[in-house]
Amino acid sequence: MARFLVTYHTGDMPHDLESMAKAREAFMTWATKTGTALVDPGAPTKSTSTVAAGGWDPTGHSDEPFTGWSVIEAADVAAAADLLSDHPFIGRGGTLQISEPVEF
């Protein structure tokens, strides 16, 4: 089984306590269904900075910042996509990006 980094891009991020609780409950329902394939549930992120040739920029953003991450395990990228197909973040208008690590 391979591990995949899943990054969460844009989407409607809830900010009030009730909406945040509902989003968390929806994620936990998906996580329970996904079982051991969800190696690390990850976490939402609140800020972004960049490190590039010019050094560290604490206010810098890449062209496609992400708002959270998870690590899943699946036989291949198609199986990973299948596991993510009903993720509640997609239902809130977000996009999930699957990154497969390079094996050396």
What does pTM read for this prediction?
0.79
| pLDDT mean across residues, the chain | 85
Whether the Cβ atoms of residue 78 and residue 67 lie closer than 8 Å to each other: no
| Cα 60 to Cα 63: distance, rounded to the nearest angstrom | 10
Q: How far apart are CA 76 and CA 59, in angstroms?
A: 36
Which domains, and CATH codes, for the chain? Answer: 2-46+64-99 (3.30.70.1060)
4-26 pLDDT, tens per residue?
999 888 766 777 899 889 999 99
Q: What is the pLDDT of residues 45-69, one digit of tens each?
A: 776 666 767 777 777 666 667 888 9
Residue 22 confidence (pLDDT): 92
Tokens read off for 90: 């997609």
Element spanning 19, H or E: helix 17-34
Beta strand segments in the chain, E: 2-9, 38-44, 50-52, 55-57, 68-74, 95-99
